[in-house]
Structure 1
């Protein structure tokens, strides 16, 4: 039998879903898939840190 999720776990799951929706909308505005948007964002952040 699967263990029930705690209230904290449910809140974290809801926040994660909301964060994913916000990222998806940002990616869509840029004409990108979420995967491409995250990759490009990570590349930009890495370049900024390396500079």
Structure 2
């Protein structure tokens, strides 16, 4: 995951403190929608 963040293929996390990061749900949703159809997990595509 952190390799993908570094190469720009996964959303950048937001820092909440010295040892805590989180991702925005909207960033993750946009990332999922950007995946080719064969890469989207069935549970993610069922929510649309």
Output the TM-score relative to the length of structure 2. Answer: 0.28
Larger radius of gyration: 1
Tell which has more relative contact order, 1 or 2 (C-alpha 8 A, sep 6+).
2
